[in-house]
Structure 1
Amino acid sequence: MSIDKTSTSEDVRSSRVIWVVFFALLLDLLGFTLILPLLPSILDHYSQTGDGVYQSLQSVVDWFRGAVGVPMETKYNSVLFGGLIGSLYSFLQFLSSPVTGALSDVYGRKPLLLLTTVGLIASYILWALSHSFSLFLLSRVVGGICKGNVSLCTAVVADLPCPKARNKGMAMIGVAFSLGFTLGPLMGAYFALRRKDVEIFYQGPAILAVLFSIADLLFIFFTLPETLHKDSKGSSQTSAIQQSGDLLHPAALFNFTAVTRTENPPTQQRMQNLNVLGLVYFTYLFLFSGLEFTLSFLTHQRFQFSSMDQGKMFFFIGITMAVIQGGYARRVKPGHQIQTVRVAIASLIPAFLLIGIAWNLTLLYSGLFLYSFAAAIVVPCLSAQVSGHGSASQKGTVMGILRSLGALARAMGPVLASSVYWLAGAEICFILSSAFLIVPLTLLRRLERQKEE
């Protein structure tokens, strides 16, 4: 009877932590995504100011456009410029995520979450005050360095003792992503339109982002319990600093080397599984982010989509993902994640092919449905699977490294995919991407065979 009571109490505590993480991450993502529909207009605004930093970056974009044959059109220029800034943001996350995760293993999840949220507040204040492109770019740099909330939230969920709770928590993180990326851009566009009478049209959304982050800071401070127990904390600040080389070197990140340099390293078999899972995560996001980026090119070029049409398309993707994550992904049982991920990645093959050859909206949206299914399943399930590796004192480091690998993939994937898109055509780009999905599928099959043995 006492065991049942303990189990029930643990389930209640885990459920509370999951919901706190969900709302904290949702507030964070709402602030983060407000800028997404405004980025082209913001870039157009700064192009008229003659800012020296903007002109320097524009020359890089012009060189890239000429190298890969992108047509000289304002729409494409905005997408390429936005992609360059997005790659910079992802690269900064690649550098900061594993370090933030490792420090959370020393000081705890809650203090690091509060610290990164304060950094995000500062970045949004800089955005609101950015009368020059230099200050705007600085706000993105500060935001990229401090955007550790996602890896820290996954570490909080990874701290939960029950595999079933961890799986549900990772799925709810996915739901927060879907809702944030669905509602945030709509709110950003709405508040920008409301401020047409103001000289700086994006000031309204920027102030709203500050308010969301302040609300997030207060919510985390008052409601989130510390999930890293004192006896599970890393040995010292020095040990975390000593791991910094392993946390910033790409080869060491792929090998999860920092996890082995602890007093209680995982077994050799677990390390091998962790390495394979990290490679699967990187390969999937590398190919997926390439499709995600070139999708705007394809719909504008082939279907003449307006900004409103693009918004409707991404709304469809976001709502589909939220429904799948809330109804199916969170119910995937522990031990079935690898098989579920294989099915989801396999569904991307026809998704890529349908989108690549689509000559009407029916084919396009059929491909987008499969694309949304994969997007809703793969990252939450892989995160839940990875969270089971490493000791309690390593969860932050493990999840930070995983997040860093994803950021590196998102920094590289769009650049290569857009190059292939314009040099070889949309069909070749999407067909090649679908062919390379064999790589993560083969790696996952190897993991399943090891499990059977």
Structure 2
Amino acid sequence: MMTSLPRSRADRRRAAFRRKAGRAARIFVLLTVLIDATGMGLIFPVMPDLLEELTGQNLAGAAIWGGILGTAYSAMQFLFGPIVGNLSDAYGRRPVMLTALFVMTMDYVLLAVAHTVTLILIGRIIGGIMAATHATAAAYMADISTPEEKGRNFGLIGAAFGVGFVLGPVLGSLASVIDLRAPFWIAGGLAAANMVFGWFVLPETVTRSIRRPFSWRRANPLASFSAIGSLPGLLPLLAVFALFNLAGYVYPAVWSFFGKARFGWDPLHIGLSLAAFGVAMAFVQGVLVGPAIRRFGVWRTVIVGFALEIVAFLFYGVVRDPVAALLFTPLAAIAGLGGPALQQIMSNIARDDQQGELQGVLGSVAAVAMGISPLIMTTIFAVFTRENTPIYAPGMPFIAAAVMMMVALAIALWAQRRQRAQPQPGP
């Protein structure tokens, strides 16, 4: 009986924090993710013209600078994801998230007034570091969730990101009519307003019982990967998560090129198709993830989601009818059920004092995928659409993504069997 008392007290403290972190705190966390995604999308429409203006080069030269900016952004997410995650485990989610919003506000101001491409690069480096706080938002959701609720709440984070994915380019396009710098001012204003909101509504969830001292040795990406990967059953799931992200980034990497090559779509049709996918994805992540996990179980939701991903990728690999491609959007979005369910499995394996570290590692994995996947997918697209190619197949990147998901599904099934074979801890 004596050995169960500390556990009972800890359980009561966790339950108290979940009650304290009410609806307003959840809204703040979701707004943070939404504003982060919106801020990224806001600047996309103005970047070509802005870089042409600052560099004095043509569109091709500006595109090279765009690639440099994107690589720098992803590299910072990779390097700082574990650092920010470990900081939140040591000092709390609240100070990390509020500080990040303040720095993000200042970063957008810098981008708004920058008159050299060097300052734009510095701004994107800072932005990549602050984007690593997405992991802290996920860790906060893990803190205030029961093990059964985590998949649903991770789905809400995905829904917030999906809404931002839709709103960002739309707002950026409208604001650019006023001025090329207007999107940066809007993004900065949104970040500042959310920081003020969070100051009043966000309680801290990292208590003394789960606080873990910060260590630079452990905060570097390789050490964090080692610490998280050593947890029983997590290493193969990290491989699954990496493949899932590599395959999933085929949509932002080649969809615009694919739509133009296969269907002859103009920018309006491409934008509308992306918006439709974003809305469908937000609905699935925000509404369907929780019921799916309750109905099918977390592992079966992963398997069904991955199987649907494979079907969706194969379909887009061969489809030739633009109407059919658009009508297939809801099924392709439903395939997104697997991601939050996979995160729930991994979060439940990690200890309470490792949630920030875990989410930082996952953020780093996603950042690497964000950097590598476009190179892979655009190269495959170029090979199969270039002049005199023996096989003209604009959808070949989606076939490659389907193969990646097949491997991910095979590893997931193996990990599930391995987990079931392990003896379960007693009460």
TM-score (normalised: structure 2):
0.86
CA distance in 1, matches of 2:22, 2:409: 32
Q: For residue 306 of structure 1, report the CA deviation from its aligned partner.
A: 2.2
Q: What corresponds to 2:408 in structure 1?
A: 440
Say whether the 8 Å CA contact 2:250–2:374 is kept in structure 1: yes
Say whether the 8 Å CA contact 1:350–1:367 is kept in structure 2: no
Q: Which amino acid aligns with 1:290?
A: V
Deviations along 1:131-190, whole A, 9 cap, x unmatched? 222221221111011212310000101112512332332121111111111112211111
Q: For residue 314 of structure 1, report the CA deviation from its aligned partner.
A: 1.1
Deviations along 1:216-263, whole A, 9 cap, x unmatched? 2112211111011122111x33xx21213xx323xx55xx31348xxx
Q: Percent identity?
A: 26
Deviations along 1:285-343, whole A, 9 cap, x unmatched? 11211343011111122323222222101110111112212221132336822221221
CA distance in 1, matches of 2:18, 2:216: 35
CA distance in 1, matches of 2:50, 2:262: 25
Mapping of residues 213-224 of structure 1, within 5 Å? 213-224=191-202
From the superposition, tell whether residues 411 and 447 of structure 1 become closer, same or farther in structure 2 (CA, over 3 Å).
same
Q: What corresponds to 1:67 in structure 2?
A: none
Mapping of residues 18-417 of structure 1, within 5 Å? 18-47=26-55, 49-50=56-57, 58=61, 78=63, 82-160=66-144, 162-193=146-177, 195=178, 201-234=179-212, 236-237=213-214, 240-244=215-219, 247-249=220-222, 256-259=225-228, 271-333=231-293, 336-375=297-336, 377-417=337-377
Q: Specify the SS of the correspondent of 2:333.
A: helix
From the superposition, tell whether residues 309 and 44 of structure 1 become closer, same or farther in structure 2 (CA, over 3 Å).
farther
CA distance in 1, matches of 2:161, 2:31: 11
Say whether the 8 Å CA contact 2:78–2:363 is kept in structure 1: yes
RMSD (Å) for aligned C-alpha atoms:
2.7
CA distance in 2, matches of 1:393, 1:14: 18
Q: Specify the SS of the correspondent of 1:322.
A: helix
**Structure 1, unaligned stretches of length 5 or more?**
59-76, 196-200, 261-267
- The size of the alignment, in residue pairs, is 401
Say whether the 8 Å CA contact 2:38–2:164 is kept in structure 1: yes
Q: Does 1:428 align with 2:396?
A: yes
CA distance in 1, matches of 2:233, 2:404: 21
CA distance in 1, matches of 2:281, 2:44: 18
CA distance in 1, matches of 2:65, 2:118: 15
Q: For residue 367 of structure 1, report the CA deviation from its aligned partner.
A: 4.4
From the superposition, tell whether residues 9 and 310 of structure 1 become closer, same or farther in structure 2 (CA, over 3 Å).
same
CA distance in 2, matches of 1:418, 1:144: 23
Say whether the 8 Å CA contact 1:352–1:367 is kept in structure 2: no
CA distance in 2, matches of 1:126, 1:216: 19
After TM superposition, the structure 1 stretch with the greater mean CA deviation from structure 2, 209-218 or 10-19, is 10-19
Say whether the 8 Å CA contact 1:127–1:136 is kept in structure 2: yes
Deviations along 1:51-110, whole A, 9 cap, x unmatched? xxx99x93xxxxxxxxxxxxxxxxxx85x7645532331121011111100111111111
CA distance in 1, matches of 2:325, 2:369: 25
**Structure 2, unaligned stretches of length 5 or more?**
1-8, 386-393, 422-427
TM-score (normalised: structure 1):
0.81
Say whether the 8 Å CA contact 2:37–2:168 is kept in structure 1: yes
Q: What corresponds to 2:4 in structure 1?
A: none
Q: What corresponds to 2:418 in structure 1?
A: 450
